[in-house]
Amino acid sequence: MSRSMLRGLFTLLHICTVKDQHGEVLQFVQTFSDISAIRKAERQLLHLAYHDPLTGLGNRYLLDQNLESELARALSHKRIVAIMFIDLDGFKAINDSLGHHIGDRVIQEAAGRIVRQIRRHDEAVRLGGDEFVVMIPDVLSSGEGLLVANKILRSISAPMQIDEQKLVIGASIGVAFFPQDGQTLSDLLSAADSAMYEAKRQGKGRVCAYSSDLVENVRTRLNLEQGMHGALQRNEFVQPVIDLYESRLMGFEALIRWNHPEFGLLFPDKFISIAEDTGLIESIGSWVLDQAAAQIKKWAQPGRDDLFMAVNVSARQFRGNYFLNELKTVIQRHNILPEQIEITESMLQDFHSIRKMVLGMRELGVSVAIEDFGNGYSSLALLKYLPVSRIKIDRSFVISLPGTARDVGLFSAIMQMANSLELNVTAEGVETFDQSQILRTMGYPAVQGYFWGRPKAAEDYDEAWIKNSSVSGYFLAENK
């Protein structure tokens, strides 16, 4: 056997004695067993225990072990350690639509890109799913750590070729620093995780450094998530929509508020995004639609069958394949046609699928409005081909009135455009008599806002109020 072979050979030596009848040792028997395969299996098991089998990166156990020793070294030498929490944006959609085999390749490619942006003595681990953690010891400043995080972000965001698919994902990266953001492993990971969620909240695809304020934000979000189940189904509000020419009630917009036991009355901008992230938006939206239809059925009975109820539908709910069937079911159940379903104007980005949905609603006899028109992705060209029946002017425009001649000119142009496209128009956020007068002069037929009626619980509007407000001139007399 050659010397080179002996170097890689692991043996187990066993020695035993052979004695005579008097107990005297006659000889020794020595055996050698080749245990190289056993040692190799032990090394493989040890590697598997501390590494992710898909990417070859370290796992949480390796991170716990290495980070603890690295923090001790940094503390004694007064060094800074950067901890980055990375969550891939858009991975779930790829994994669900193209299959797990493509998803695995994306994870492997992302892991490789992360490793190529860090030094040999830095540590990158995969926590599981599409989450990674990177440890960068001996950074000179927080700025240097953020620079590395942005390099990783740019690398991950570059298009990747997986078989025949050209795919693009992003990442949200939270960064925390030892010692200022935490003294222990759990504190640092928690801080980096909080910063990552803040990056997602700000729109994803970015790097966010930890600050003490983020802890309270994350706790608040968790509190809202835990308390959301079932809580919103007791907090429906409505706001009147007024015929500006006749100063009488045209209909209502169904709104939702959350009277939270700790944070008080919360508006949708505080919790709708959480509902969308947690998947609760469909059940909440379904409940609001059903309650709105039931309420307008009740109000229409005294003879006001021309009243409508505008219902806001989230992007996620609207894009669901089940929405048209749900709308049909609600109409049949309550024997009433909600005259108006409002959709957020961001829907206009996906023109072809939205057109199909809008056509389906129009076939049911339901009219469709674009909410917050003028703020975001509104496209005048798309309005020509998208069969909506109403646009609602965003409050941010209305609040500028009476404003300058330029402001008035803008509103006049919008009204002229709407007339040419045969669209109804509602101005939102009307808060003063002067604003109402200017809008009426320019031909705006419908308004809603605090001047004409604040959002209130539906039960606060009884049949007597509905009857009185339907009389021409009612609101003009009320607001004198």
Residue positions counted in the chain: 480
Q: Is 265 in the same domain as 168?
A: no
Q: Which range among 32-36, 93-97, 297-301, 419-423 shows the weakest confidence by mean pLDDT?
A: 32-36
Chain position carrying tokens 């619980």: 457
Token couple for 144: 């240097």
Whether 270 is in a domain gets the answer: yes
Burial of 142 (0-12, 13-18, 19+ CB in 10 A): middle
Q: Is 67 in the same domain as 170?
A: yes
Q: Identify the domain boundary among 210, 240, 261.
A: 210
Asked if residue 146 lies in contact with residue 84, where contact means CB atoms within 8 angstroms, the answer is no
- For residues 153-158, average pLDDT: 95
Question: In the prediction, which pLDDT does 386 show?
Answer: 78
Asked if residue 167 lies in contact with residue 110, where contact means CB atoms within 8 angstroms, the answer is no
Cis status, amide bond into 402, omega within 30 of 0: yes
Question: In the prediction, which pLDDT does 2 show?
Answer: 41
Token couple for 298: 């009740």
Domain that holds residue 400: 231-478
Q: Is 28 in the same domain as 58?
A: no
Whether 226 is in a domain gets the answer: no
Burial of 141 (0-12, 13-18, 19+ CB in 10 A): exposed
Q: Is 377 in the same domain as 321?
A: yes
Q: Which range among 26-35, 114-123, 349-358 shows the weakest confidence by mean pLDDT?
A: 349-358
- Count of domains for the chain: 3
Whether 448 is in a domain gets the answer: yes
Q: Is 237 in the same domain as 352?
A: yes
> How far is residue 328's CA from residue 314's CA, in Å, rounded to a whole number?
18
Whether 217 is in a domain gets the answer: no
Whether 225 is in a domain gets the answer: no
Mapping DSSP to helix (H, G, I), strand (E, B) and coil, where does residue 166 land? Answer: strand
Q: Is 253 in the same domain as 389?
A: yes
Q: Identify residue 365 by its one-letter amino acid code.
A: G
Find how far residue 327's CA is from the centre of its chain: 25
* Other Cβ atoms closer than 10 A to 81: 21
pLDDT at 347 over 60: no
Mean pLDDT of the chain: 82
Whether 224 is in a domain gets the answer: no
Cis status, amide bond into 445, omega within 30 of 0: no
pTM: 0.61
- For residues 356-361, average pLDDT: 84
> How far is residue 67's CA from residue 81's CA, in Å, rounded to a whole number?
9
- For residues 288-316, average pLDDT: 81
Q: pLDDT grade, residue 106 (50/70/90)?
A: very high
The per-residue pLDDT for range 37-70, each reduced to its tens digit, is: 656 655 655 556 788 889 999 988 888 888 888 9
Question: In the prediction, which pLDDT does 260 show?
Answer: 76
Question: In the prediction, which pLDDT does 155 show?
Answer: 96
Q: Is 191 in the same domain as 236?
A: no
- For residues 429-444, average pLDDT: 89
Mapping DSSP to helix (H, G, I), strand (E, B) and coil, where does residue 186 land? Answer: helix
Q: Which helix (H) or strand (E) holds 109?
A: helix 100-116
Mapping DSSP to helix (H, G, I), strand (E, B) and coil, where does residue 475 land? Answer: helix
pLDDT at 241 over 90: yes
Question: In the prediction, which pLDDT does 4 show?
Answer: 45
Cα angle 93, 132, 225; round to 5: 65
Q: Is 151 in the same domain as 32?
A: no
The per-residue pLDDT for range 461-477, each reduced to its tens digit, is: 888 888 888 878 877 65
Q: Is 179 in the same domain as 241?
A: no
Q: Is 157 in the same domain as 248?
A: no
Q: Is 58 in the same domain as 151?
A: yes
Residue 190, domain CATH = 3.30.70.270
> How far is residue 301's CA from residue 335's CA, in Å, rounded to a whole number?
12
Asked if residue 293 lies in contact with residue 251, where contact means CB atoms within 8 angstroms, the answer is no
Nearest to 205, CA basis, from 37, 88, 71, 349? 88
Asked if residue 435 lies in contact with residue 401, where contact means CB atoms within 8 angstroms, the answer is yes
Q: Identify the domain boundary among 143, 177, 210.
A: 210
Q: Identify the domain boundary among 181, 210, 239.
A: 210
Q: pLDDT grade, residue 3 (50/70/90)?
A: very low
Whether 274 is in a domain gets the answer: yes
What are the backbone angles phi and psi of residue 53, rounded to the nearest 5°? -65, -25
Q: Is 377 in the same domain as 259?
A: yes
Q: For 400, which DSSP code?
A: T
Whether 46 is in a domain gets the answer: no
